[in-house]
Amino acid sequence: MTTLIGLSGSLRQASYNSALLRGAAGIMPAGSELVVETIRGIPLYDADLEASEGFPEKVTALKDAIAAADGLLLVTPEYNNSIPGVFKNAIDWLSRPDSDIKRVFGNKPVAVIGASPGGFGTILSQNAWLPILRTLKADFWSGGRLMVSRAGTVFNQDGTLADQKIEDQLRKFLEGFVAFARAARQGAPAASA
């Protein structure tokens, strides 16, 4: 079984990105699963808090889940042409201490998708992730790209996917990323889709 961890970079209850993540979990390729985790409950990063109280339980559990998984799917909104602060904050906690970066992110297959009500999807936010993933020495999958634009027309009221074309694109993206994660786990080079 290939196991991916999925994180939405939004805390909003009716988030398009959380809906996209749940949609992805429901259409995973055979022999794989997407475990939906949350960044909700992670406090603002504060080195004084880290020094005095250690790591929040939520951070430790999430780090362990990512480290044990075969891959990580980041589902990112775009705020002010970049990564939402709450999402970057979560990564800042997850990458502490520096000695844990290799265990949690090192050579970990990572893919990024996103949804936005705007017409350009999340292209700038997805691009902003690249230097962060490089710094963490993650294995970014560049074999596919999914930027859902006009997200208000793509989802039903209950948050399920209403657009068959987007669902098909998501399915194809997931197939490629799962193949990449499986190949990485087996130590073989993966073909890009």
Output the pLDDT for position 187. Answer: 81
Six-digit token string for 15: 């988030």
pTM: 0.95
Output the pLDDT for position 189. Answer: 57
- List Cβ neighbours of 188 (8 Å cut-off, separation of 6 or more): none
Q: What is the mean pLDDT of each run of 10 residues along the chain (193 residues)?
A: 97 95 98 98 95 95 98 97 97 95 97 95 96 97 94 93 96 98 81 47
How many other C-beta atoms lie within 10 A of the C-beta of residue 142? 12
Output the pLDDT for position 193. Answer: 43
Q: Return the CATH number of the domain spanning residue range 2-186.
A: 3.40.50.360
Output the pLDDT for position 132. Answer: 98
Question: Which residue in the block uniquely carries the two structure tokens 């998501």?
Answer: 170
Q: Is 35 helix (H, G, I), strand (E, B) or coil?
A: strand
Output the pLDDT for position 69. Answer: 98
Evaluate whether 44 touches 89 at the Cβ level (below 8 Å): yes
Going from N- to C-terminal start, the domains of the chain cover 2-186
